[in-house]
Amino acid sequence: MTAIVSKPALSERSKFIRRLLRRKTVAFGLIVLTIFVLLAIFAPLIAPYSPSKLSIINRLKPPGGTFIFGTDEFGRDVFSRTIYSARLSLLVGAAVVTLSAIIGVTLGLVAGFFKQFDAPIARLIDAMMAFPDILLAIALVAALGPSLTTVIIALSIVYAPRLARIVRASTLVIRELPYIEASRALGISTRHIMTRHVLRNLLSPILVQGTFLFASAMLAEAGLSFLGLGVSPEIPTWGTMISAGRQYIGQADWMTLFPGFAIILSVLSLQMVGDGLRDLLDPRLRKDL
């Protein structure tokens, strides 16, 4: 008699993670992102020098030897600064995604669920989306004064309507489904229906869009810092590093190249993960892109 040994059934979540990681681009993106996050968290342990340590005798040293990414105009180690910059760049991205998700999801849910609020919120979203993202962020930063907090608030205001539009559209569809009607008939409160029944079904598109917003926010932050309208130039972010490197690009192009590569690599990884998530999570959005 042969014993039948059955493998324990994989949970839905494990199956999903397996399918996700089977995609090479997603696996690559996740590995790169994990490395960036680890670099950001353990920056003080990994960076060979302090990001602000000046050393005039070592100024504008090309990459190689003790300074693998070279040094900047003040003799600061570009490698250490690139690693420390990951902290702020990732922090801005994460904060913007969180804040814009809170604003966008609330607006989208309310507009999609309550007919009386739909038209005003939908028009407001249209109007907000008429402004090019960087330009609106610039205007908000100009009004509020440049600082890290302002940049996060400004970019969250800029990106929240994008999420709100998606959440609203999906809520309008879900609202009409029979199980929502059934929930109402059972006397479940509107708040409960919105948070437990509607929002739960919206997590996939929110997650996908959130990944792309993370990438957009990182690019926008770099752009604002490059223009001198973001965080203070003394604080190392990839944008401020490129901005500082610009003046020395003829004699020390490494000051511009390495932070640029860091932005490209992190944004590319986020896009790869976002694409993979979209393909797996939201077949309606799937366009074989």
Partner 1 sequence: MIRYIFQRLFGMIVVMFLVVTIVFVIVRVTPGDPAAVMLGPDATSQDIADLRTQLGLDRSLGVQYLYYMGQLLKGDLGQSIFLNMPVTSALLDRAEPTFFLTVFSLLIASVIALPIGIYAAYRRGSIFDQAATALAMLAASIPSFWLGLIMMQVFAVRFDLFPVSGYGGPGSSFADRMYHLVLPAFALGIVSSALVLRFTRASMLDVLGDDYIRTARAKGLIERRVILKHALKNALIPILTVIGLTAAVLVSGAVVTETVFGLPGIGNLVVSAVLRRDYPVIQGALLVIAALYVLINFAIDMLYLLVDPRVRY
Q: Which residues are near partner 1 by CB under 8 A?
A: 123-124, 126-128, 130-136, 138-145, 215, 219, 222-223, 226-229, 242, 246, 249-250, 253, 256-257, 260, 263-265, 267-268, 271-272, 275, 287-289
* Minimum CB–partner distance for residue 271 and partner 1 (Å): 5
Rounded-to-integer distance, Cα 276 and Cα 45, Å: 32
Beta carbons within 10 angstroms of residue 238's beta carbon: 27
21 vs 135, beta carbon nearer partner 1? 135
Minimum distance from residue 132 beta carbon to partner 1 (Å): 4
Closer by beta carbon to partner 1, 190 or else 251: 251
Q: What gap in Å lies between CA 46 and CA 265, rounded to an integer?
A: 19
- Helix (H) / strand (E) element for 172: namely helix 148-175
DSSP line for 220-254: HHHHHHHTT-SS-TTS--HHHHHHHHHTTTTT-TH
DSSP annotation string for 103-138: HHHHHHHHHHH-HHHHHHHHHHHHHHTTS-HHHHHH
Amino acid at 195: T
Q: Shortest approach of partner 1 to residue 259 CB, angstroms?
A: 8
In this structure, the number of other CB atoms found within 10 A of the CB of residue 181 comes to 11
Shortest reach from residue 245's CB to partner 1, in Å:
8
> In this complex, which beta carbon is closest to partner 1, that of residue 101 or of residue 222?
222
- In the complex with partner 1, the residue whose CB is nearer, 103 or 199, is 103
Q: Can you tell me the distance from the alpha carbon of 236 to that of 106, in angstroms, rounded to the nearest whole number?
A: 34
Shorter beta-carbon distance to partner 1: residue 150 or 183? 150
User: Least CB distance from residue 25 to partner 1, whole Å?
Assistant: 8
